Amino acid sequence: MKLVIAIVQDVDSDNLISVLNQHKFRVTKISSTGGFLKSGNCTLLSGIEDEDYDRFMEIVEENSTTREVRRTIQPINIPGQAMIPVPITVKVGGATLFVMNVVDYKKY
């Protein structure tokens, strides 16, 4: 058995969870916030049997969209220079997954 921790964008999470549930995968959703853009993410926790691992990963990949967004950031304050916000384009979305082997599992 494996524990999968998946970090996905808020906009992808509801559909992803729905598709995972349709395939009989149980998911726990934890709201979280990204550090760089301070945007909404969801952290999904799921216990996966070894034989279901490949299908689980396919579903996550198919339902986690990568997109580009334009944000304005404030540059570092350097004495004597104007503080003009700088627009940047950043690629966001997709999924970041951490997979761990589970030594013991109990359900009460």
The Cα–Cα gap between 58 and 66 comes to: 15
Residue 70's pLDDT is 73
Pick the CATH number of 2-101 from 3.30.1360.200, 3.30.540.10, 3.30.70.120, 1.10.3720.10: 3.30.70.120
Residue 41's pLDDT is 84
Q: Say what percent of the chain tops pLDDT 90.
A: 49
**pTM metric for this prediction:** 0.74
Residue 81's pLDDT is 65
Residue 107's pLDDT is 83
The Cα–Cα gap between 22 and 64 comes to: 16
The Cα–Cα gap between 74 and 3 comes to: 38
pLDDT digits (tens, 9 = 90+) for 72-88: 776 666 666 667 777 77
Domain boundaries defined on the chain:
2-101
Do residues 10 and 43 touch, judged by C-beta distance below 8 A? Answer: no
Residues 99, 100, 102, 106, CA torsion sign = negative
pLDDT digits (tens, 9 = 90+) for 27-47: 999 988 766 656 678 899 999
3 vs 91 pLDDT, higher one: 3
Residue 82's pLDDT is 64
The Cα–Cα gap between 41 and 15 comes to: 14
Q: Phi and psi (nearest 5°) for 26?
A: -90, 140
Residue 80's pLDDT is 66
